[in-house]
């Protein structure tokens, strides 16, 4: 019998749909590794742990190399990121591949996407599961809502508790960045006036079990919850009831309520779309009656509860972010036992492999650490580079680095760290896909300052014939209107030409003269002594150089050399503009946040940051400033007009009449 297609819109489906053929499910990293046989245990033989090459990335974020020396003379090498816990400028956040609970993505692609959103650096994230591939194995939260819940174990593997929920190492943190680390179990329960008491929700954002396809243990039935973050189609088994509810943003702990929009029942398997903007309760088998009685318009409640093993449950309420790991490595400064890691059903803990972990120190420093290595079956990996570490060795390494609490994340071929857009470590597998990542974010550089106050609508065009089509045409025309430039000829401005130090002096002198004559800016000296042997008195820029030097706005390369024909870099321009602004106003520019990553240690970094804070200087993409690149005449016009806009806004000068 013909059936209607599935609607993929925000509204729920309206009828039965066709049943697809069975599709092979890719087994998630965590479950696959958990079922692999472990090689013989390696002794914990750490002789030394050292860090080297520490560099600032941005603000309080530092990167270092880690070298672990083992007793047999081999070394394990890795990378470390350190940042202050709760830093006001830096934020630690997880990010799901493709933005959904289900699905995987090459980590380098995920990192590139997040860099455009302000991610400075990061590592691969936590373990994940099939049904469908990519769903995190435990509590995963992003932007204040859960996207996955209950951790599960491999078939026949032990649990930490025989009666309570399965507990796996989890990291949780709220908006202020304070981290919690503990073994955590979660429970979701459903209640409604029409239901007899509350009932347990078996799984969240996971497909119904299908032992023939995904290798899961057979069950007689399940009550499942899917929400708008799920991101995958799924199959409802025969004998299913589906209740469509308005969006239910599940918290880390607490209750959320929603209204039933419609109810569907099927006696045969059906293919269902991702929930879109709604949540769906799906019950089948001997749990189908869990939803009996619910009708359109009823209100349902879902309660989220957590069961940490050592911390207080209330500490896990109201979290903004959470990431499940596998193996609570260090707790309260003590390395945990291998028995507890096995109880969490982590994979191979005794072999030396690549590792990824998160730790916090007693002084409130967060560490993201990767250790390179090779899995036993990897044939293209450079085993001479790094020996890898056992889980116990990794825990002791983190403890040596100062960890008070630490959680193991997904490792092996997934272990990857990126810093400022580049892979910092040596992954054992190139192009490995992951379910999520953990990134350090900072505010992106400010946008350019608007020019509407300095360049109001209707100002006249300059008449330069070589500026139309350039990105700086409006600023060049406005600079000419202000009388600061007349071009290289009346018809040409030469927007792509590089600015020399001598030309810069004339730009700045004319600009400061105008601000003083028509506004309240401090005037330059009427004349100055020309002290530079390489600037002839007949040089067209000599007077501007002498006056600016007398005012202290610019200086020579040496006491008697100015280098008038040398080109001005972007970094030098920032310092020159800063000096001109501070001269005009008589007030130092305020110090602001660290803005760019490629000007660290540059003499002009302070000026770059100050002008970036005003929206005068901008980057060249992401967190790059390209400080050594030369400044063109067109870019110079834009910089000067943004600085002019700052002075107009602060009342130092008004646009020409």
Q: What pLDDT is attached to residue 23?
A: 30
Do 119 and 71 sit in the same domain of this protein? Answer: yes
User: Average pLDDT in the 150-162 region?
Assistant: 53
Q: Is the peptide bond before 267 cis (omega within 30 degrees of 0)?
A: no
Asked if the structure places residue 141 within a domain, the reply is: yes
- Cα–Cα distance between 104 and 307 in angstroms, integer? 28
pTM as predicted:
0.89
User: Average pLDDT in the 262-287 region?
Assistant: 95
Asked if the structure places residue 270 within a domain, the reply is: yes
**Residue 43 above 90 pLDDT?**
no
Kindly indicate the confidence band of residue 197, based on its pLDDT and cuts at 50, 70 and 90. Answer: confident
Q: What pLDDT is attached to residue 35?
A: 34
Do 397 and 384 sit in the same domain of this protein? Answer: yes
Asked which of 324, 346, 375 is the last residue of a domain, the reply is 324
Kindly indicate the confidence band of residue 347, based on its pLDDT and cuts at 50, 70 and 90. Answer: confident
Do 435 and 486 sit in the same domain of this protein? Answer: no
Asked which of 418, 441, 464 is the last residue of a domain, the reply is 441
User: How far is Cα of residue 519 from the mean position of the Cα atoms in its chain?
Assistant: 45
Do 119 and 145 sit in the same domain of this protein? Answer: no
> What's the 3-state SS for 6-58?
CCCCCCCCCCCCCCCCCCCCCCCHHHHHHCCCCCCCCCCCEEEEEEEEEEEEE
Do 164 and 118 sit in the same domain of this protein? Answer: no
Do 314 and 389 sit in the same domain of this protein? Answer: no
User: Average pLDDT in the 285-313 region?
Assistant: 95
Q: Using an 8 Å Cβ cutoff, are 52 and 67 in contact? A: yes
Do 296 and 366 sit in the same domain of this protein? Answer: no
Q: What pLDDT is attached to residue 436?
A: 98
- Give the domain extent around 138: 129-324
Asked if the structure places residue 329 within a domain, the reply is: no
Asked if the structure places residue 341 within a domain, the reply is: no
Asked if the structure places residue 332 within a domain, the reply is: no
601-627 pLDDT per residue, tens: 999 999 999 999 999 999 999 999 999
User: Average pLDDT in the 149-163 region?
Assistant: 55
Asked if the structure places residue 510 within a domain, the reply is: yes
Do 567 and 606 sit in the same domain of this protein? Answer: yes
**Structural domain total, the chain:** 3
Asked if the structure places residue 656 within a domain, the reply is: no
**Residue 518 above 70 pLDDT?**
yes
Q: What is the CA radius of gyration of the chain?
A: 31
How does strand 221-226 pair with strand 203-204?
A: parallel
Asked which of 425, 441, 457 is the last residue of a domain, the reply is 441
Do 508 and 382 sit in the same domain of this protein? Answer: no
Do 189 and 309 sit in the same domain of this protein? Answer: yes
371-382 pLDDT per residue, tens: 999 976 777 788
Asked if the structure places residue 13 within a domain, the reply is: no
Do 145 and 111 sit in the same domain of this protein? Answer: no
**Residue 5 above 50 pLDDT?**
no
**Residue 17 above 50 pLDDT?**
no
Do 164 and 100 sit in the same domain of this protein? Answer: no
Spell out a b/e string for 131-145, using b for 16 or more CB atoms within 10 Å of the CB, else e: bbbbbbbbbbbbeeb
């Amino acid at each position: 019998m013909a059936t209607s297609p599935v609607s993929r819109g925000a509204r729920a489906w309206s009828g039965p749909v066709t049943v697809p053929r069975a599709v092979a499910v890719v087994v998630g990293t965590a479950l696959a590794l958990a079922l692999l046989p472990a090689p013989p245990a390696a002794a914990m033989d750490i002789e030394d742990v050292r860090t080297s090459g520490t560099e600032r990335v941005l603000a309080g974020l530092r990167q270092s190399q880690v070298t672990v020396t083992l007793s047999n003379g081999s070394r394990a090498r890795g990378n470390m990121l350190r940042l202050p816990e709760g830093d006001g400028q830096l934020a630690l956040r997880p990010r799901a591949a493709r933005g959904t609970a289900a699905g995987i993505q090459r980590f380098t692609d995920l990192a590139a996407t997040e860099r455009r959103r302000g991610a400075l650096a990061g590592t691969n994230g936590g373990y994940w599961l099939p049904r469908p591939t990519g769903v995190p194995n435990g509590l995963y939260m992003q932007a204040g809502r859960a996207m996955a819940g209950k951790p599960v174990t491999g078939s026949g593997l032990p649990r930490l508790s025989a009666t309570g929920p399965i507990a796996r190492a989890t990291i949780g943190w709220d908006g202020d960045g304070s981290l919690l680390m503990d073994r955590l179990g979660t429970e979701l329960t459903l209640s409604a006036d029409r239901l007899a008491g509350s009932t347990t929700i078996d799984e969240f954002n996971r497909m119904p079990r299908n032992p023939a396809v995904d290798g899961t243990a057979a069950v007689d039935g399940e009550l499942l919850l899917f929400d708008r973050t799920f991101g995958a189609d799924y199959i409802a088994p025969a004998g299913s009831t589906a209740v469509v509810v308005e969006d239910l943003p599940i918290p880390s702990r607490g209750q959320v309520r929603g209204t039933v929009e419609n109810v569907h029942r099927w006696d045969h398997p059906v293919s269902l779309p991702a929930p879109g903007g709604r949540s769906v309760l799906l019950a089948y088998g001997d749990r189908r009656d869990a939803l009996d009685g619910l009708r359109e318009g009823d209100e349902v409640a879902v309660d989220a509860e957590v069961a940490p093993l050592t911390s207080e449950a209330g500490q896990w309420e109201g979290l903004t972010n959470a990431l499940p790991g596998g193996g609570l490595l260090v707790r309260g400064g003590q390395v945990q036992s291998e028995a507890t890691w096995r109880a969490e059903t982590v994979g191979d803990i005794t072999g030396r492999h690549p590792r990824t972990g998160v730790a916090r120190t007693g002084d409130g420093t967060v560490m993201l650490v990767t250790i390179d290595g090779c899995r036993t079956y990897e044939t293209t990996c450079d085993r001479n580079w790094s020996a890898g570490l056992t889980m116990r060795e990794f825990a002791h390494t983190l403890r040596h680095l100062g960890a008070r609490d630490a959680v193991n994340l997904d490792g092996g071929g997934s272990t990857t760290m990126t810093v400022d857009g580049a892979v910092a470590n040596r992954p054992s597998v190139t192009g490995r896909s992951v379910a999520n990542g953990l990134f350090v974010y900072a505010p992106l550089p400010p946008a350019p300052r608007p020019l509407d106050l300095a360049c109001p609508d209707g100002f006249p065009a300059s008449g330069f014939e070589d500026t139309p089509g350039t990105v700086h045409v409006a600023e060049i025309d406005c600079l000419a209107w202000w009388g600061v430039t007349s071009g290289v000829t009346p018809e040409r401005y030469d927007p792509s030409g590089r600015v020399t130090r001598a030309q810069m002096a004339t730009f700045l002198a004319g600009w400061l003269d105008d601000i003083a004559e028509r506004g309240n800016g401090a005037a330059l000296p009427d004349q100055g002594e020309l002290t530079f042997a390489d600037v002839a008195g007949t040089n067209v820029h000599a007077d501007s150089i002498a006056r600016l030097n007398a005012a202290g706005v610019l200086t020579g390369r040496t006491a008697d050399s100015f280098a008038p024909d040398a080109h001005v870099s972007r970094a030098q321009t920032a310092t020159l503009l800063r000096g001109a602004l501070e001269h005009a106003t008589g007030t130092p520019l305020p110090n602001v946040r660290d803005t760019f990553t490629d000007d660290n240690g540059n003499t002009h970094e302070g000026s770059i940051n100050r002008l970036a804070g005003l929206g005068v200087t901008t980057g060249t993409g992401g967190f790059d400033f390209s400080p050594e690149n030369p400044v063109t005449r067109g870019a110079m016009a834009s910089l000067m007009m943004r600085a002019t806009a700052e002075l107009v806004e602060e009342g130092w000068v008004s646009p020409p009449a």
